């Protein structure tokens, strides 16, 4: 066997994985249909905050990493990792469009004994019942001629404590041989590899992880509203509760949940549960609370100013979390729309995002009736707002 691998999808999951694998000695062929991403990587530029351009340039120049939009490079590897988005539709149903397209393209070029690992978040049974039959159909091979494993990504952008190498990796194989093959691969650059007995267990574990976060973040947002009514600082309440060394995990209030995981994965779990007649009342309620948070802060702004018609509002931060430029599923979109529906003149500032929805970031200044701090990036200098009243979405009273 050679040390050639391919990673399909070079975003927030695929690119850090590619860098980690390349640093361990694998020759990584990155595949992405976005030609701009491919061009940037081959020119030594990183498209995400977690990976430095210097690191990408070093690996490209050393020959350990190259990107392409041509799936034919799959024919040169023995391991293929699929790290494409699995979003939800407007009706909150699983959208496997990107996954199905990637699998069709990959399958045309895999050869005997190739290992295909899916890292994208999917509903239980997807690897076994959708991925495997698709590979068989489009490759012309039977399952006994190739290997399939599932290993859900655990990427948290800009997390300085946990990254690809030190975050434990769940791995499951359709067959014991597929697991051994995948575990051996990941063990070359990941500290802890944990076996799951089936791909369904690994798939569901991923959905559980982020459903847990959705429910608890939505819960703390409700507690935050309660604390404001009482006139106490919810962040001080959380800090006090977090001194308990067992049975409590701190979650913090916000304008709502965004990104590629927490608002999405629970919907995959809920959809799968509904298909078999199982209840998901906690997830359904948490999703409702999450979606209501932007409207709550529209009401707070209206209350603070005595009305919003023709008021100049600056929304500070539009990314879904601090210190990243990712706007996928950002709750700030609903906040801005809600403010505008009330007649407010809304501008936004985010030097990481720069351009979004056909609009550009404006400078921080005192030329506003109110500033709403929705995503507190570390670079922000709020002194530039002068005497502009501030409404924080992070639990202030």
Q: What is the set of domains in the chain, with CATH numbers?
A: 4-197 (3.40.50.720), 236-392 (3.40.50.720)
At 168, is the pLDDT very low, low, confident or very high (cuts 50, 70, 90)?
Answer: very high
Instruction: Decide if pLDDT at 42 tops 90.
Output: yes
- How far apart, in whole angstroms, are the C-alpha atoms of residue 32 and residue 34? 5
Read off the pLDDT of each residue in 177-187 and give the average, rounded to a whole number: 98
On average, the pLDDT of the chain sits at: 96
Who contacts 101 (Cβ-Cβ below 8 Å, separation ≥6)? Answer: 84
Alpha carbon distances (Å) from 111 to 65, 80, 136: 21, 11, 11
- How far apart, in whole angstroms, are the C-alpha atoms of residue 102 and residue 89? 18
Write the pLDDT tens digit of every residue in 333-388.
999 999 999 999 999 999 999 999 999 999 999 999 999 999 999 999 999 999 99
Closest listed residue to residue 114, CA positions, set 178, 198, 209: 178
**pLDDT recorded at residue 321:** 93
Query: Looking at residue 104, what DSSP letter applies?
Result: H
Instruction: Decide if pLDDT at 311 tops 50.
Output: yes
Write the pLDDT tens digit of every residue in 259-302.
889 999 999 999 999 999 999 999 999 999 999 999 999 999 99
Neighbours of 341 (CB within 10 A): 11
Neighbours of 28 (CB within 10 A): 27
Read off the pLDDT of each residue in 165-171 and give the average, rounded to a whole number: 98
Read off the pLDDT of each residue in 185-191 and give the average, rounded to a whole number: 97
Instruction: Decide if pLDDT at 396 tops 80.
Output: no
What whole-number percentage of the chain has pLDDT above 70?
Answer: 99
**pLDDT recorded at residue 47:** 86
The stretches of 14-81 forming alpha helices (DSSP H) are 14-23, 35-42, 53-62
Neighbours of 176 (CB within 10 A): 9
Closest listed residue to residue 171, CA positions, set 149, 143, 204: 149
Closest listed residue to residue 15, CA positions, set 43, 72, 53: 53
Who contacts 367 (Cβ-Cβ below 8 Å, separation ≥6)? Answer: 312
Helix axes 53-62, 35-42, angle to 10 degrees: 80
Instruction: Decide if pLDDT at 305 tops 60.
Output: yes
The stretches of the chain forming alpha helices (DSSP H) are 14-23, 35-42, 53-62, 97-107, 126, 132-139, 176-186, 199-230, 234-241, 265-275, 281-305, 332-341
- How far apart, in whole angstroms, are the C-alpha atoms of residue 136 and residue 236? 56
Q: b/e per residue, 183-216, with b = 16+ CB within 10 A?
A: bebbeebbeebeebebbbebbbebbebbbbbbbe
Write the pLDDT tens digit of every residue in 228-269.
999 999 999 999 999 999 999 999 999 999 988 999 999 999
- How far apart, in whole angstroms, are the C-alpha atoms of residue 28 and residue 67? 8
Write the pLDDT tens digit of every residue in 63-109.
999 999 999 999 999 999 999 999 999 999 999 999 999 999 999 99
For residue 30, the cross-strand partners are 7, 67
Closest listed residue to residue 359, CA positions, set 314, 311, 299: 314
Who contacts 329 (Cβ-Cβ below 8 Å, separation ≥6)? Answer: 257, 258, 259, 260, 263, 264, 320
Closest listed residue to residue 21, CA positions, set 186, 172, 159: 186
**pLDDT recorded at residue 397:** 64
Angle at 100 between CA 96 and CA 103, to 5 degrees: 140
Closest listed residue to residue 267, CA positions, set 250, 243, 236, 291: 291
For residue 391, the cross-strand partners are 372
- Say if CB 103 and CB 136 are below 8 A apart: no
* Residues annotated catalytic, as ranges: 261
Read off the pLDDT of each residue in 185-203 and give the average, rounded to a whole number: 98
**pLDDT recorded at residue 1:** 47
Who contacts 373 (Cβ-Cβ below 8 Å, separation ≥6)? Answer: 316, 317, 382, 390, 391, 392, 393, 394
- Say if CB 122 and CB 99 are below 8 A apart: yes
């Amino acid at each position: 066997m050679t040390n050639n691998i391919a990673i399909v999808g070079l975003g927030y999951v695929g690119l850090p994985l590619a860098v980690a694998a390349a640093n361990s000695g694998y020759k990584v062929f990155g595949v992405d249909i976005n030609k701009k991403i491919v061009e940037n990587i081959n020119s030594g530029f990183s498209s995400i905050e977690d990976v430095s351009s210097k690191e990408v340039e070093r690996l490209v120049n050393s020959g350990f990493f190259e990107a392409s939009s041509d799936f034919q490079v799959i024919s040169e590897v023995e391991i293929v990792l699929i790290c494409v988005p699995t979003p939800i539709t407007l009706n909150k149903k699983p959208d496997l469009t990107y996954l199905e397209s990637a699998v069709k393209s990959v399958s045309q070029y895999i050869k005997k004994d190739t290992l295909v690992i899916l890292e994208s978040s999917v509903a239980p049974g997807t690897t076994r019942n959708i991925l495997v039959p698709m590979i068989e159909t489009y490759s012309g091979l039977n399952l006994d001629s190739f290997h399939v494993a599932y290993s859900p990504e655990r990427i948290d952008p800009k997390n300085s404590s946990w990254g690809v190498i030190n975050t434990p990796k769940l791995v499951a194989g359709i067959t014991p041989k597929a697991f051994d093959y995948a575990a051996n691969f990941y063990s070359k650059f990941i500290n802890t590899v944990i076996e799951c007995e089936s791909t369904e267990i690994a798939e569901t574990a991923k959905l559980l992880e982020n459903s847990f976060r959705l429910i608890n973040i939505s819960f703390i947002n409700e507690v935050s509203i309660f604390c404001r009514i009482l006139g106490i600082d919810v962040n001080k309440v959380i800090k006090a509760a977090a001194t308990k060394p067992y049975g409590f995990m701190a979650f913090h209030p916000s304008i709502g949940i965004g990104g590629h995981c927490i608002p999405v994965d629970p919907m995959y779990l809920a959809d799968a549960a509904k298909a078999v007649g199982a209840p998901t009342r906690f997830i359904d309620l948490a999703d409702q609370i999450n979606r209501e948070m932007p409207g709550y802060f529209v009401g707070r702004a209206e209350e603070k100013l005595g009305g919003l018609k023709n008021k100049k509002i600056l929304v500070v931060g539009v990314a879904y979390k601090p210190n990243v430029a990712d706007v996928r599923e950002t709750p700030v979109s609903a906040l801005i729309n809600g403010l505008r529906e009330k007649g407010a003149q809304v501008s936004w500032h985010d030097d990481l995002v720069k351009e979004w929805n056909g609009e550009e970031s404006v400078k921080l200044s005192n030329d506003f009736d109110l500033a709403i701090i929705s995503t507190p990036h570390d670079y922000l200098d709020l002194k530039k707002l002068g005497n502009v009243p501030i409404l924080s979405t992070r639990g202030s009273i």
